[in-house]
């Protein structure tokens, strides 16, 4: 058994490999039937009329904001405890990100703080379903509705999740999924916009394909008529074929991930220094990563040393997520500073993402948790004695 346990690893079987080979042999490598089929599968999974396949989750978020006409002078509300793409997409259209602090339990946008952040300039809300946890979507959607603001779900980490009986991706005006290799399903690179809004879907289809006229999306008449500013955000047939094969195994993969999360929780339950992820009883989490938090007595330096220690013992580990507002580019551009979002900062400084992928076996889980135990004990011994 190799000693190295990676943080994540894609689950690729012969089915995916065969699907790619078939596309190669078909001669149709882009804009074809697989993209359409993959769009239908994702849309169906989250009760939506339309799926629009794109080249990445980031591209999907960008297209939705652009298609909604959001631009310079507008504000878009999101959270800082996320992957940087949740906010970069706002900058792509020239708008300004406004970060709302998070709920300390489910780590998503705190609905109590959302209302206070809404101004006359607010033009949209991007609610991130962090680590695959769709908590609070009904209250966030209600606030969006009350203020007549489009709600966009950044569901890039949450495919297959369910909140109060409704699938992730079904809330708000549109939702976006991502298929990078560490996500629940992968296409190598890829993303998907889902929506019930015909006009929005049409605009996104046109804009992902160089702004070609709506209704001339395949290479025929009108192919060189560009009606609006567009991009090349298309998904290849190769990627879509992998996506179809992965979607056929989605439920199996989600239950495998749930099983691994349960095994971790069982093993870590008695570690007094850890705060384990919790899932509301009315929520089915789609496990994206397995992130534990250190209790308040740990500093972020100690957390960083634990990450280094785990890595030194061939256990993949990461600090998901350093707050977006404290990234060098955001500090410089917007003047954000430490203290702006106290809960986000306190939580982000004590997270540990542990290895999490479908083929993680019980021995590897034991290795991870025992190594973590040693690292925690090490930190305690390194602390200056309080004289008690
Ligand atoms: C992965 C991710 C994205 C971006 O997806 P890409 O396909 O990598 O562009 C956006 N938002 C969140 C929250 C993500 O985790």
CATH number assigned to the domain comprising residue 86: 3.40.640.10
Residue 344's Cβ-side half-sphere holds a number of Cα atoms within 13 Å equal to 26
What's the pLDDT at 383? 87
The least confident of 77-86, 133-142, 143-152, 358-367 is 133-142
pTM for this model (two decimals): 0.96
- Report the percent of the chain where pLDDT is more than 70: 97
pLDDT in tens, 214-268: 877 666 667 788 889 999 999 999 999 999 999 999 999 999 999 999 999 999 9
82 Cβ inside 6 Å of ligand 1: yes
The answer to whether position 5 is within a domain reads no
pLDDT in tens, 37-49: 999 999 999 999 9
Ligand 1, from 53, 83, 286: best to mutate by most atoms within 8 Å of Cβ?
83
Q: What is the domain range of residue 265?
A: 250-382
Is 179 within 8 Å of 54 (Cβ atoms)?
no
Q: Which of 183, 212, 247 is the last residue of a domain?
A: 247
Residue 388 has pLDDT above 60, yes or no: no
The answer to whether position 260 is within a domain reads yes
Distance CA 302, CA 315 (A): 17
The protein residue with its alpha carbon nearest to ligand 1, atom 14, reads 156
Residue 21 has pLDDT above 60, yes or no: yes
Residues 332, 224 within the same domain: no
Is 272 within 8 Å of 286 (Cβ atoms)?
no
The answer to whether position 358 is within a domain reads yes
The answer to whether position 222 is within a domain reads yes
Residues 196, 289 within the same domain: no
Q: Which of 247, 267, 284 is the last residue of a domain?
A: 247
CA–CA distances in Å: residue 246 to residues 60, 199, 233, 297: 20, 29, 21, 42
| Mean pLDDT confidence for 51-70 | 98
Residues 73, 152 within the same domain: yes
Catalytic residues: 183
Residues 123, 170 within the same domain: yes
Distance 386 CA to ligand 1 centre (A): 44
| Mean pLDDT confidence for 12-41 | 97
Closest ligand 1 atom number to CA of residue 180: 7
Residue 327 has pLDDT above 60, yes or no: yes
What's the pLDDT at 387? 52
pLDDT in tens, 74-88: 999 999 999 999 999
Is 62 within 8 Å of 305 (Cβ atoms)?
no
Residues 164, 291 within the same domain: no
Ligand 1, from 57, 84, 102: best to mutate by most atoms within 8 Å of Cβ?
57
Residue 3 has pLDDT above 80, yes or no: no
Distance 59 CA to ligand 1 centre (A): 9
What's the pLDDT at 74? 98
132 Cβ inside 6 Å of ligand 1: no
Overall number of domains in the chain: 2
| Mean pLDDT confidence for 30-36 | 96
Residues 163, 266 within the same domain: no
Residue 152, beta-bridge partner list: 126, 174
Ligand 1, from 63, 79, 86: best to mutate by most atoms within 8 Å of Cβ?
86
Distance 167 CA to ligand 1 centre (A): 19
Residues 165, 307 within the same domain: no
Closest ligand 1 atom number to CA of residue 59: 9
The answer to whether position 122 is within a domain reads yes
pLDDT band at 135 (very low <50, low <70, confident <90, very high): confident
Q: Which of 220, 247, 274 is the last residue of a domain?
A: 247
Burial 261-292 (b: 16+ CB within 10 A, else e): bebbeebbeebebbbebebeeebbbbbbbbbb
Opening angle at CA 24, ends 19 and 30, nearest 5: 95
Strand duo 191-195 + 50-54: pairing: antiparallel
Residues 223, 278 within the same domain: no
The least confident of 110-119, 129-138, 222-231, 241-250 is 222-231
| Mean pLDDT confidence for 158-176 | 97
Residue with the two structure tokens 């007549």:
148
Residues 48, 196 within the same domain: yes
The answer to whether position 206 is within a domain reads yes
The protein residue with its alpha carbon nearest to ligand 1, atom 5, reads 57
Tokens describing residue 369: 């948790």
What's the pLDDT at 120? 98
Residue 285 has pLDDT above 90, yes or no: yes
195 Cβ inside 6 Å of ligand 1: no
Mean pLDDT, the chain, whole residue set:
95
| Mean pLDDT confidence for 95-99 | 98
315 Cβ inside 6 Å of ligand 1: no
Q: What CATH number did the domain enclosing 266 receive?
A: 3.90.1150.10
The answer to whether position 23 is within a domain reads yes
Strand duo 290-294 + 50-54: pairing: unpaired
Distance CA 148, CA 144 (A): 6
CB neighbourhood size of 215 (10 A):
11
Is 107 within 8 Å of 288 (Cβ atoms)?
no
Residues 118, 38 within the same domain: yes
Residues 25, 164 within the same domain: yes
Residues 212, 286 within the same domain: no
pLDDT band at 24 (very low <50, low <70, confident <90, very high): very high
What's the pLDDT at 328? 98
Is 68 within 8 Å of 123 (Cβ atoms)?
yes
Distance 324 CA to ligand 1 centre (A): 13
The answer to whether position 243 is within a domain reads yes
């Amino acid at each position: 058994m190799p000693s190295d346990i990676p943080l994540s690893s894609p689950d690729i079987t012969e089915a995916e490999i065969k699907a790619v080979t078939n596309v190669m042999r078909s001669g149709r490598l882009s804009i074809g039937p697989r993209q359409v089929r993959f769009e239908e599968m994702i849309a169906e999974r989250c009760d939506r009329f339309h799926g629009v396949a794109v080249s990445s989750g980031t591209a999907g978020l960008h297209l939705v904001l652009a298609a909604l006409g959001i631009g310079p002078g507008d504000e878009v509300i999101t959270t800082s405890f996320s992957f940087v793409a949740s906010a970069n997409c706002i900058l792509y259209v020239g708008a300004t990100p406004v970060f709302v602090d998070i709920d300390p339990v489910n780590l998503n946008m705190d609905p109590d703080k959302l209302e206070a952040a809404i101004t006359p300039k607010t033009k949209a809300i991007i609610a991130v379903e962090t680590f695959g946890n769709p908590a609070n979507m009904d209250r966030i959607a209600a606030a969006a509705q009350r203020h007549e603001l489009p709600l966009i779900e950044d569901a890039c980490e949450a495919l297959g999740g369910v909140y109060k009986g409704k699938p992730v991706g079904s809330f708000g005006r549109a939702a976006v999924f991502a298929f990078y290799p560490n996500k629940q399903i992968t296409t190598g690179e890829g993303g998907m916009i889902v929506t019930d809004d015909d006009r929005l879907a049409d605009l996104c289809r046109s804009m992902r394909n160089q702004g070609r006229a709506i209704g001339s999306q395949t290479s025929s008449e009108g192919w060189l008529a560009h009606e609006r500013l567009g991009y090349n955000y298309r998904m290849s047939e190769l990627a879509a074929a992998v996506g179809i094969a992965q979607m056929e195994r989605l439920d199996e993969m989600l239950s495998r991930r749930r099983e691994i999360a349960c095994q971790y929780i069982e093993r870590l339950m008695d570690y007094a220094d850890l705060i384990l992820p919790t899932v509301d009883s009315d929520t089915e989490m789609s496990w994206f990563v397995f992130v534990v938090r250190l209790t308040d007595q740990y500093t972020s330096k100690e957390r960083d040393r634990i990450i280094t220690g785990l890595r030194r013992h061939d256990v993949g580990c990461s600090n998901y997520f350093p707050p977006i507002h404290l990234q060098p580019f955001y500090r410089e551009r917007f003047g954000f500073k430490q203290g702006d979002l106290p809960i986000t900062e306190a939580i982000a400084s004590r997270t540990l993402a542990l290895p999490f992928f479908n083929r993680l076996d019980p021995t590897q889980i034991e290795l991870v948790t025992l190594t973590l135990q040693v690292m925690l004990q090490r930190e305690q011994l390194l602390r200056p004695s309080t004289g008690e």
